[in-house]
C-alpha cells in the first residue's frame, strides 16, 4: 500500500512502489484528466504538480512522491488557473483536446513563476508539451492573454 | 524531472521500473456522453425530435446529433452552426453529441456510409443540417402560432426567442412538446446568405468543446472505466506479416493484476486489472514469432527498388502531348528525384477501444471514424446480428487518418479481445505509443522522379514517374478509388497540375510491399504537393521567372481560384521575390486539395545548428462559404504545424522490416519553439463549402523547401529535411 495525497485528499493505494504516478492516478483514483501520451516523458500530456512543481507523472514512480502534495487538473485552483483556463476557452485553443490538460498545467506553472513571460520564456516552459494538432499559435496567444488578465 | 527543463524535448528518458497495480476502481461517472444516450432513450429529456439531428429539451437547449467524429477539426461546432443558423437559435443554447452508428440516418452523403474523412464533414452536411434546422424552426413557429392563435407568417424568431408583434414571446422549450406533434415539413425553406447571423460571422460562434477540453473534463476512450473491466494490451509481431508461432505466458500470469493471456488474431492479448500490470505482463511474455511471410525489406532496400522502377514507364495517370519526345529534343533536361519516408499519424491519444457484451448483445465505445463498417466488423466477429450491437462514437485525441481504417484492424482486435475472454468481462484495449509508431498503417513511402525542360522562359515539358504503395488495391474499398488499376489517391495533385505545359506525362508504379499503409492527413497531396510545387519552382528558376508571377502566368485564366489565393498570399506577405533579405528567404506554394485552394508563403532562415527556422507563414484559403472562420483559421494553423513538423523531422525508417522509431524521442514532432507565426486570410466566396481539415497541410513543405533553395541550400530531395537521425 502506498499513501498518496492528491488534490488535498489522502489516499491509500494498493500498488507497488515503482508504479508510475500516472497509472495510480488514472486507474486507481479514477482521475482521468491527466493523460497518457508516450510513457517516456516526451510529450507532457501526463503533467501534474508535485509540491507545486510540474512533473511528468508517467515516469515518476509513486515511491518518489512520498508525502508530497500532488495536484492534477481536477484539483486546480487559484488566479492563474482561472486565467489560463478562461483564456484557453476564449481563444478556442483546443482541437482534439487530448494534450490540453498537460498544456494547461504547464502554462499555469509558468505563470505562477513568471507573471509576464516573453515568447522565449513560453518556448522554454512549454516545449516539453507536444500537441500533434499543432495548436501552438493559440497556446502562445492564450498564455499572453492570461498574463494580461492577471495584471488587472 | 520538471516540465520546465528546456532540453526536455529529445533526451532524458527516465523509465519507471516495473511494478504492480491492484485494481481498486472507484465508482466513476458512467458516461461522458450520457446526453446522447438520453436523447435517444424514451423518457429522455428531449421532448422535440423533428428529425435525426435535432433535439430540443424543455429547458430550450438544442442538442445537435453529429454524424461525424470530432477529433479536433470542428464538426461538433460546424454542424451545430448550420442547424442553429436555420433555427435562429442563440449560440448559448446549442450543444453537440455524437450520433450513434446508423447508416440509414447518418451516412456521409459523400460516401454512402457513416464515416468521416476527405475533409467532407461540412461539405456533405451543408444542405442536410440547414434543412434539419429549418424544419425544426418551422415546427416551433407553427406550434407558437397555434398556441397564440396568430398566423405563422407573423411570427419572428431571433436568438432563440419566438415572438409576435402582439407582445407574446417564448423560447424553444415552451413549444417543444406541441411542435413534436406536428407534421415535419418536407422541404423547408432555407435562408438567403444575406440573412446569416452565425454562418461566416466572426466571433458569433465559439467551439462547443473548448470549455471541457481546457479543464480535463472531456472523456476519451482511454478514460472509460466500468465495473469488472479489464485493460488489454496486445503483443504484436515485430515485423509486418509476422504471426504468433508459440508463446509462453507463465511468467506473465505470475504478475499480480494479470488476469489472463489469450492468443487473438493480431497477436497475444494480456488482460489485466489496469494498464501497468497489463504492460508488465506483456513484458514478461515469451513469444516466438513466425516470420516466414513477414516483410523483411527495409527503407533502404525499398528506396533502391522504387528508384529503379521510377526509370521504367508506369501506368499513365495523366498525359497530353508527348513529354518524352519533347524532353529528348530539349537543350537541357532538368531532373529531380524526391524521396518521401513512411510517416506515422501519431495522434496524441493512441488507438483504443472499449467493448462489453453478454453473449447476446454488445456495446462498443471508441473513436470510430468509419462507423458503418466497424459496426459490421464487430457484429460479425462476435457472431451477433447488427441490431444487437450498439456503437457509440467517442471524442478522440486526434486521428490525421489513423482511425479511418480501411482494414478495420482496431474494431476487429477489440472484438477478438472481447470474444477471447468471453462474455461479461468488459475490455478496454489500449495501444501504447510504441505500439502506435511501430504498428504500421503509415503514409506510404514514395519516390517521385521528375524531368522537365524550359525554353525561352517557359516550361515546355514535364514528366513525373511516381512509385509507391497503394493502400486501396486489393481491399474492399478498391472500387471507390481504383479505376483501371490506377489508385487515384496516389496521383491526385500530380496527374493534373495548374500549370500549362505543352507536353506532359505522369505515370505510376504500385509495387506490392508487406507494410500496412493508410491515408494520412491530405493523402496523396502529402507527397504530390511537395514534388510538383518544388519542381515547378525549380523550373521557373531555370527559366528566370519569379516563383509567384511565373506560376500565375502558367495558370492563365483556367484556374481562377488557385490564382486568387496565390495573388492574395503575395499581397499579404508583400511579396517582392524570394530574397534572401537579411538572411531570410521566402518560398511559395499553392495546392488544391479536397476542393479547397490554399497558397502559402514561408519565411525561412538557416539556424547555426544547421536546422531551418520557419519564422512566419502567410496563408490564403478558399474553401467556399466560410462557415466558421475561426475554425478555418485554426485548421490552417494546425495544418501548417502538422505539415511542417513532418517535412522537417518526421520519418519512420524500416530496418530489415522493423520500424526504428518507437516513441517521440525518435519520432520527432514539432514543438512550440519550432512553430512559426501564422497569418491566415479566408477568401470571400459564395461557392459551396469545401474541406479545411486537410488542405492546410500540403503547401507548407514545398514553401519551406523553395525558401531553402533561395537561401542556397537547394530543395531537399529527401524528406524529412533533418532526417537520418536514428
| Domains parsed from chain A with CATH numbers | 2-75 (3.10.20.30), 79-151 (1.10.150.120)
Question: Rounded mean pLDDT of B637-653?
Answer: 98
Q: How far is B356 from chain A (nearest CA, A)?
A: 18
**What confidence score (pLDDT) does residue A18 get?**
87
Q: What is the mean pLDDT of chain B?
A: 92
Which residues on A lie below 8 Å from B24 (Cβ)? Answer: 13-14, 28
Please name the residues between 416 and 435 in chain B that touch chain A, using a CB distance below 8 Å: 432-434
- Say if residue B21's pLDDT is above 70: no
Question: Rounded mean pLDDT of A131-139?
Answer: 98
Closest-CA residue to B399 (of B67, B33, B78, B73): B73
Kindly report the CATH class assigned to B34-213: alpha beta
Are the CB atoms for A94 and A31 separated by under 8 Å? no
* Choice between B29 and B387, residue whose per-residue pLDDT is larger: B387
The CA radius of gyration of chain B, in Å to the nearest whole number, is 27
Q: Dump the DSSP string for B561-580.
A: HHHHHHHHHHHHTT---S--
Q: How far is B330 from chain A (nearest CA, A)?
A: 45
Percent pLDDT > 70 in chain A is 100
Q: What is the pLDDT of residues B220-267, one digit of tens each?
A: 999 999 999 999 999 999 999 999 999 999 999 999 999 999 999 999
- Say if residue B3's pLDDT is above 80: no
Which residues on A lie below 8 Å from B257 (Cβ)? Answer: none
**What confidence score (pLDDT) does residue B726 get?**
55
**What confidence score (pLDDT) does residue B43 get?**
30
* Choice between B9 and A85, residue whose per-residue pLDDT is larger: A85
Question: Rounded mean pLDDT of B435-447?
Answer: 98
Q: What is the pLDDT of residues B594-619, one digit of tens each?
A: 999 999 999 999 999 999 999 999 99
Which residues on A lie below 8 Å from B433 (Cβ)? Answer: 37-40, 43
**What confidence score (pLDDT) does residue B724 get?**
76
Query: Domain B299-343+441-710: which topology?
Result: Aldehyde Oxidoreductase; domain 4 (3.30.365)
C-beta atoms of B664 and A15 within 8 A: no
**What confidence score (pLDDT) does residue A45 get?**
98
Compare CB distances from A124 to B4, B28, B217 and report the shortest one's residue. Answer: B4
Closest-CA residue to A101 (of B37, B144, B36, B217): B217
Are the CB atoms for B597 and B493 separated by under 8 Å? no
C-beta atoms of A15 and B400 within 8 A: no
* Choice between B478 and B425, residue whose per-residue pLDDT is larger: B425
Q: What is the pLDDT of residues B571-592, one digit of tens each?
A: 999 999 999 999 999 999 999 9
Which of B107-116, B123-132, B682-691 shows the lowest per-residue confidence on average (mean pLDDT)?
B107-116
List the single best residue of A41, A54, A99, A105 to mutate versus B (max B Cβ within 10 A).
A41
* CATH no., domain B221-293+351-430: 3.30.365.10
- Topology agreement, domain B221-293+351-430 and domain B299-343+441-710: yes
pLDDT band at B32; cut points 50, 70, 90: very low
Q: Dump the DSSP string for A46-78.
A: TEEEETTEEEEGGG-BGGGTTTPEEE-GGG--S
- Say if residue A145's pLDDT is above 70: yes
Percent pLDDT > 70 in chain B is 94
Rounded to whole angstroms, how far apart are CA atoms B291 and B240?
9
**What confidence score (pLDDT) does residue B483 get?**
86
Phi (first) and psi of residue A70, to 5 degrees: -100, 135
C-beta atoms of B222 and A32 within 8 A: yes
Phi (first) and psi of residue B602, to 5 degrees: -110, 135
B25, with CB counted inside 10 A (0-12, 13-18, 19+), is: middle
What is the pTM assigned to this prediction? 0.94
- Say if residue B199's pLDDT is above 70: yes
Domain boundaries, chain B: 34-213, 221-293+351-430, 299-343+441-710
**What confidence score (pLDDT) does residue B457 get?**
85
Close Cβ partners of A95 (under 8 Å, ≥ 6 residues apart): A133, A135, B71, B72, B73, B74, B398, B634, B638
Q: At what angle do helices B629-649 and B700-710 cross, to 10 degrees?
A: 60
Amino acid at each position: 500500500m502506498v499513501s498518496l495525497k492528491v488534490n488535498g485528499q489522502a489516499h491509500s493505494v494498493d500498488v507497488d512502489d515503482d508504479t508510475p504516478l500516472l497509472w495510480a492516478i488514472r486507474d486507481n483514483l479514477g482521475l482521468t484528466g491527466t493523460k497518457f501520451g508516450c510513457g517516456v516523458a516526451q510529450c507532457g500530456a501526463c503533467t501534474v504538480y508535485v509540491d507545486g512543481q510540474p512533473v511528468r507523472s508517467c515516469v515518476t514512480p509513486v515511491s518518489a512522491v512520498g508525502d508530497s502534495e500532488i495536484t492534477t487538473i481536477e484539483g486546480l485552483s487559484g488566479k492563474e488557473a482561472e486565467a489560463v483556463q478562461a483564456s484557453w476557452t476564449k481563444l478556442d485553443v483546443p482541437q482534439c483536446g487530448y494534450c490540453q490538460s498537460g498544456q494547461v498545467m504547464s502554462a499555469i506553472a509558468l505563470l505562477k513563476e513568471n507573471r509576464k513571460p516573453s515568447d522565449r520564456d513560453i518556448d522554454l516552459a512549454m516545449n516539453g508539451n507536444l500537441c500533434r494538432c499543432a495548436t501552438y499559435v493559440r497556446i502562445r496567444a492564450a498564455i499572453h492573454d492570461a498574463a494580461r488578465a492577471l495584471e488587472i | 524531472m520538471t516540465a520546465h527543463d528546456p532540453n526536455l524535448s529529445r533526451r532524458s528518458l527516465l523509465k519507471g521500473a516495473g511494478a504492480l497495480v491492484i485494481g481498486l476502481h472507484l465508482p466513476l461517472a458512467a458516461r461522458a456522453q450520457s446526453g446522447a444516450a438520453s436523447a435517444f432513450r424514451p423518457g429522455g429529456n428531449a421532448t422535440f425530435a423533428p428529425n435525426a439531428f435535432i433535439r430540443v429539451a424543455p429547458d430550450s437547449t438544442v442538442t445537435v446529433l453529429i454524424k461525424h467524429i470530432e477529433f479536433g477539426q470542428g464538426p461538433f461546432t460546424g454542424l451545430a452552426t448550420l442547424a442553429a443558423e436555420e433555427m435562429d437559435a442563440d449560440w448559448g443554447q446549442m450543444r453537440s453529441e455524437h450520433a450513434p452508428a446508423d447508416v440509414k440516418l447518418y451516412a456521409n452523403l459523400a460516401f454512402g456510409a457513416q464515416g468521416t474523412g476527405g475533409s467532407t464533414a461540412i461539405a456533405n452536411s451543408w444542405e442536410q443540417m440547414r434543412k434539419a434546422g429549418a424544419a425544426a424552426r418551422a415546427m416551433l413557429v407553427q406550434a407558437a402560432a397555434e398556441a397564440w392563435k396568430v398566423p405563422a407568417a407573423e411570427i419572428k424568431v431571433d436568438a432563440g426567442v419566438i415572438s409576435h408583434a402582439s407582445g407574446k414571446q417564448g423560447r424553444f422549450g415552451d413549444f417543444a412538446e406541441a411542435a413534436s406533434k406536428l407534421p415535419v415539413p418536407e422541404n423547408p425553406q432555407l435562408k438567403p446568405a444575406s440573412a446569416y447571423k452565425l454562418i461566416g460571422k466572426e466571433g458569433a460562434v465559439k467551439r462547443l468543446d473548448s470549455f471541457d477540453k481546457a479543464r480535463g473534463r472531456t472523456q476519451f476512450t482511454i478514460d472509460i472505466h466500468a465495473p469488472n473491466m479489464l485493460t488489454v494490451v496486445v503483443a504484436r509481431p515485430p515485423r509486418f506479416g509476422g504471426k504468433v508461432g508459440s508463446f509462453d505466458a507463465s511468467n506473465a500470469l505470475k504478475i499480480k493484476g494479470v488476469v489472463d493471456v489469450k492468443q487473438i488474431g493480431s497477436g497475444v492479448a494480456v488482460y489485466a486489472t489496469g494498464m501497468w500490470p497489463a504492460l508488465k505482463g506483456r513484458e514478461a511474455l515469451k513469444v516466438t514469432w513466425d516470420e516466414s511471410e513477414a516483410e523483411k525489406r527495409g527503407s533502404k532496400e525499398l528506396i533502391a527498388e522504387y528508384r529503379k522502377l521510377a526509370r521504367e514507364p508506369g501506368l499513365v495517370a495523366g498525359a497530353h502531348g508527348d513529354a518524352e519526345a519533347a524532353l529528348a529534343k530539349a537543350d537541357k533536361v532538368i531532373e529531380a528525384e524526391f524521396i518521401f519516408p513512411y510517416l506515422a499519424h501519431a495522434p496524441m491519444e493512441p488507438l483504443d477501444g472499449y467493448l462489453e457484451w453478454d453473449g447476446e448483445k454488445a456495446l462498443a465505445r471508441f473513436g470510430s471514424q468509419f462507423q458503418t463498417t466497424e459496426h459490421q466488423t464487430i457484429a460479425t466477429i462476435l457472431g451477433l446480428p447488427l441490431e444487437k450491437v450498439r456503437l457509440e462514437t467517442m471524442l478522440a485525441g486526434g486521428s490525421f487518418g489513423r482511425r479511418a481504417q480501411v482494414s478495420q484492424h482496431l474494431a476487429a482486435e477489440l472484438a477478438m479481445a472481447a470474444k477471447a475472454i468471453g462474455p461479461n468481462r468488459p475490455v478496454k484495449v489500449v495501444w501504447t505509443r510504441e505500439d502506435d509508431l511501430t504498428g504500421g498503417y503509415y503514409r506510404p513511402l514514395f519516390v517521385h522522379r521528375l524531368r522537365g525542360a524550359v525554353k525561352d522562359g517557359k516550361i515546355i515539358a514535364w514528366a513525373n514517374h511516381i512509385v509507391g504503395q497503394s493502400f486501396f488495391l486489393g481491399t474492399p474499398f478498391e472500387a471507390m478509388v481504383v479505376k483501371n488499376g490506377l489508385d487515384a489517391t496516389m496521383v491526385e495533385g500530380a496527374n493534373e497540375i495548374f500549370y500549362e505545359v505543352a507536353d506532359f506525362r505522369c505515370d505510376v508504379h504500385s509495387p506490392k510491399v508487406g507494410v500496412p499503409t493508410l491515408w494520412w492527413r491530405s493523402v496523396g497531396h502529402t507527397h504530390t504537393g511537395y514534388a510538383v510545387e518544388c519542381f515547378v519552382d525549380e523550373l521557373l528558376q531555370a527559366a528566370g521567372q519569379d516563383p509567384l508571377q511565373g506560376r500565375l502566368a502558367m495558370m492563365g485564366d483556367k484556374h481562377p481560384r488557385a490564382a486568387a489565393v496565390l495573388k492574395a498570399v503575395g499581397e499579404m506577405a508583400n511579396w517582392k521575390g524570394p530574397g534572401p533579405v537579411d538572411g531570410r528567404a521566402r518560398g511559395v506554394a499553392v495546392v488544391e486539395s479536397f476542393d479547397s485552394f490554399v497558397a502559402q508563403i514561408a519565411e525561412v532562415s538557416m539556424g547555426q545548428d544547421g536546422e531551418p527556422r520557419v519564422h512566419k507563414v502567410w496563408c490564403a484559403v478558399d474553401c467556399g462559404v466560410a462557415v466558421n472562420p475561426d475554425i478555418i483559421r485554426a485548421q490552417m494553423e494546425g495544418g501548417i504545424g502538422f505539415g511542417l513538423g513532418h517535412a522537417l523531422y518526421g520519418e519512420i525508417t524500416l530496418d530489415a522490416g522493423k520500424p526504428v522509431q518507437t516513441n517521440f524521442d525518435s519520432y520527432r514532432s514539432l514543438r512550440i519553439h519550432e512553430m512559426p507565426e501564422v497569418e491566415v486570410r479566408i477568401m470571400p466566396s459564395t461557392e459551396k463549402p469545401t474541406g479545411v481539415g486537410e488542405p492546410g497541410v500540403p503547401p507548407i513543405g514545398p514553401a519551406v523547401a523553395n525558401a531553402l533553395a533561395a537561401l542556397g541550400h537547394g530543395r531537399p530531395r529527401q524528406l524529412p529535411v533533418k532526417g537520418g537521425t536514428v
